[in-house]
Amino acid sequence: MSKIFLAPMEGLADALLRDLLTRAGGYDGAVCEFIRVSGTTLPARTFRRVCPELDDGGRTPSGSPVAVQLLGSCPERMGETAARLARLSPHGIDLNFGCPAPTVNRHGGGAMLLDDPDLLLRIVAAVRRAVPEAIPVTAKMRLGVRDTARTLDCAAALQAGGAAALVVHARTKVEGYRPPAHWEWIGRVREAVAVPVIANGEIWSPDDYARCRAVSGCADVMLGRGAVADPFLARRLRRAEGDGCYGPHDPAADWPELSVLLLEFWQRVKARLLLQHAPGRLKLWLNLLRRGYPQANLLYHRIRACSDVGAVAAALEAAAAAR
Ligand SMILES: Cc1cc2nc3c(=O)[nH]c(=O)nc-3n(C[C@H](O)[C@H](O)[C@H](O)COP(=O)(O)O)c2cc1C
């Protein structure tokens, strides 16, 4: 059976959103946002803060296993950190070789490492050596820094280092998040390695899902922004495996369930963040939801200029009641 994973998204999909999205259904697992490994030794509380699921058997409340993602460029440091992380028994350790952020890349981390396949191999091997066999070590890569000249070398290096599976985000670093995603390159990686390859990039709909799998030849996918934009996407994809029919994206039918998720999100964001930051978090989610939900678009415009939590709550409740 094919697998669907929820992508790591720093600043967007934290434990709260992972909880809501995996509860909506369809996911076989998730990866948490990256934890940066630099000069200092990370205490266990850092792992727990980014991945609070570690305190609940490493699973979201609805039972999806969560892998913890590390980002760094020093094999020894990565190995030491992975060994500390392993004591908390994560379901997997994923290594980030795709982040395009200048603050990360300046220190040689994330996607910049794709210029150095030998270093990729040493990082994966150091992590693999440092953690018990039972914990899978996986890697998430882009196609390269500027072009695809070394894509296959990088994939081979990750495999040789001991990665149990590769997630391929089908763009180079310089392409950022601009469409298209080059799904045909995921297929080339799949043919070049023996480990499972998980396809990622620009899957927003059942149609994209079908085309991505056909072009890449991969059974398994990872959903990023598409999962946040349509919380029921994975569930629809999963159901289709049963009856061969994806079912329509029906905003009116989805809205009652979605507005309950939004209200819960808002309550929990408010309880956790400084009040002035809570509206911003909600707007971040609405900004993606409004691609497919006119109700979310209306709500987004109502609260866009709003920083008062009372007014945001009133708009949210009115939108939920509108059904
Ligand atoms: C806001 C944001 C934060 C992200 N943070 C991470 C991260 O922490 N680790 C990682 O490997 N990828 C990260 N990514 C990349 C996604 O996991 C995914 O590879 C990318 O968005 C492409 O998939 P999509 O087109 O389905 O969104 C992030 C993407 C976004 C949009």
Domain ranges within the chain, ordered by starting residue: 4-243, 251-322
Q: Which CATH class is domain 4-243?
A: alpha beta
Residues with CB under 6 A from ligand 1: 7-12, 33-34, 69, 96, 98-99, 140, 169, 177, 200-203, 223-226
Phi, psi (5° rounding) for residue 200? -145, 140
76 or 277: which leads in pLDDT: 76
At 17 the pLDDT is: 98
Residue 247: pLDDT band by 50, 70, 90 thresholds? confident
Q: Has residue 12 got a pLDDT over 90?
A: yes
SS3 111: helix
204 CA → ligand 1 middle, Å:
13
List the structure tokens of 321: 């009641």
323 CA → ligand 1 middle, Å:
31
In angstroms, the Cα distances linking 108 to 98, 121, 162 are 12, 15, 21
Q: Has residue 59 got a pLDDT over 80?
A: yes
- Residue among 4, 6, 10 to mutate when testing ligand 1 (max atoms within 8 A of CB): 10
Q: Has residue 37 got a pLDDT over 80?
A: yes
Range list of H helices, the chain: 15-24, 44-50, 75-86, 102-105, 117-130, 151-161, 183-192, 206-216, 225-229, 233-243, 251-272, 278-289, 294-303, 309-322
Over the stretch 168-222, which tens digit does the pLDDT of each residue have? 999 999 999 999 999 999 999 999 999 999 999 999 999 999 999 999 999 999 9
Q: Has residue 42 got a pLDDT over 70?
A: yes
Give the number of the atom of ligand 1 that is nearest the alpha carbon of residue 98.
11
In this structure, of 162-176, 228-242, 286-300, the range with the lowest mean pLDDT score is 228-242
Phi, psi (5° rounding) for residue 70? -110, 145
Return mean pLDDT, the chain. Answer: 95
% residues pLDDT > 90 (the chain): 88
Distance CA 119, CA 21 (A): 35
Residue 323: pLDDT band by 50, 70, 90 thresholds? low
Q: Has residue 239 got a pLDDT over 90?
A: no
In angstroms, the Cα distances linking 15 to 59, 72, 309 are 10, 22, 22
Element (H, E) at 7: none
Hey, how many other C-beta atoms are within 10 angstroms of the C-beta on 9? Answer: 18
CA 219 and chain centroid, separation? 18
